[in-house]
Structure 1
Amino acid sequence: MLFPPFVALTSMGALPFLWRCDPVWVQRVAAVASPDGAILVELDPIMIDADTIRQNFGTIWPAHVEALTRFLIACRNHMDGDLDRLLILCVIGDRTLSRGRTPPGMTYDDFNDNDREPIEPEGLNARSIADFSGIPRETVRRKVQDLIDLGWVERHGNDLRATDRARIDLIPLTESSLDYLVNMAGILYAAPSRASPTRRREEGNA
């Protein structure tokens, strides 16, 4: 089973995906030296939205492309150059550990705990994958069989699920996706705020 960020990154390949997301307020903190040692001081929150990204495009976009390219190269290497197989596994992994059914408090250690409580996946078959991804059905069926042979996917009735073996074998890719997210979080975190929360609320009530 694939870690959600791994799946999310395939959807976030282009920033227009991010531009359709709801704005998010991010609370920033800074370490400030004091006689008693460093202390954390809260800074003004920033809002990450479409305009934040557009107005900081020259910083955010190149970092996004650079980090995503490295991640996709790692993915390609793990898939023997077969990106269709990667995409199909991502779709299956997304349904196996879907956002709506994954406990919000799950940590990375929880995810890698072989004894954790199982999460009921959403149903998915080869036809659904083909319809969703645009990959021809015969190609999907062939790639699914490849994934089954690798031990990364298994059938449950008519449904397909990613396996624990996939989770274990693809830990390097999950780690790579975490590197991408950390990199992008730092870039977005450093983006200047366009307005304070109070100013935002005042403008909204005008």
Structure 2
Amino acid sequence: MVAVKPKSTRATLEHLVAENYSTISLGLLSPLLDVLSLSREACGGDMDKFLIMLVVAIRTTGHKRFATYTREQLLSGEVPVFPSLGVNIQSIADSVGASKETIRRKVTELVKAGWIERQGNKLYFTAKAYRDFEKVRERIGKMSVRHHQVVEQLRDAVPTD
């Protein structure tokens, strides 16, 4: 009979990663560098802009309606401005540890680029941003798969009791 590995808890996996970081770090860091480099490029060298977009994207993807749209609907512009749980300049500044004035200035640039729409004091992710960040999303997906593989291989290498 083949021994089946019990499902690992998150805490167990986090411990395994911490204890074995020196052996798995290349598999974790290389894809992260790819994501950050491409993100920086997409934002014209300004990582603060990417962090702002990331906060707005998190609030967008957290909205229950966002999950009902197909990739095609999101890319086509059928939904020009995505639903959101709501985010404003102050909450972004608090999230990324930057001054409110810096975030305000960069949000103005992101609005001009068509990546964010401002409705009152709330900020929303646009279909244009979704299209323009497609390569970044693809790279994030690849990073996720690679990280999963690294952790899965590590988990599988640990002897069962």
The TM-score with structure 1 as length reference comes to 0.64
**Which structure 2 residue ranges, 5 or more long, are not aligned?**
none
Distance 1:177 1:69 in 2: 11
Q: 1:170 to 1:119 in 2, by over 3 A?
A: closer
Aligned to 1:10: none
Distance 1:74 1:120 in 2: 26
Question: Does 1:50 find its partner at 2:14?
Answer: yes
Secondary structure of the structure 1 residue equivalent to 2:52: helix
Change (3 A) 1:60 1:157: same
- Work out the CA distance in 1 between the residues paired with 2:3 and 2:146: 22
Aligned CA distance change for structure 1 residues 119 and 155 (closer, same or farther; 3 Å): closer
Task: Indicate which of 107, 110, 115 corresponds to 2:70.
Answer: 110
Partner of 2:126: 163
Q: How far has the Cα of 1:56 moved from its partner?
A: 2.5
Is residue 85 from structure 1 mapped to residue 49 from structure 2 by the alignment?
yes
Match of 1:7 in 2: none
Distance 2:44 2:82 in 1: 30
Q: Which residue of 2 aligns with 1:28?
A: none
Is the CA contact (8 Å cut-off) linking 2:82 and 2:127 kept in structure 1? no
Secondary structure of 2:48's counterpart equals helix
Alpha-carbon shift at residue 163 of structure 1 (Å): 0.5
Alignment CA distance shift 1:172-1:130 (3 Å): same
Q: Give the 3-state SS of the residue equivalent to 1:192 in structure 2.
A: helix
Q: If you compute each CA radius of gyration, which structure gives the higher value, 1 or 2?
A: 1
Residue 152 of structure 2 corresponds to residue 189 of structure 1:
yes
1:101–1:119 CA contact under 8 A, matched in 2: no
Give unpaired runs (5+ residues) of structure 1: 1-40, 200-206
Relative to 1, partners in 2 of residues 1:89 and 1:119: Cα closer, same or farther, differing over 3 Å? closer
Q: Which residue of 2 aligns with 1:145?
A: 108
1:101 is aligned to 2:64: yes
Matches within 5 A, 1:14-25: none
Residues matched between the structures, number: 152
Percent identity between matched residues is: 28
TM-aligned CA deviation for residue 103 of structure 1: 7.0
> Cα RMSD (Å) of the superposition?
2.8
Q: Which protein has the bigger strand share?
A: 1
Q: Is the 8 A contact 1:46 1:192 kept in 2?
A: no
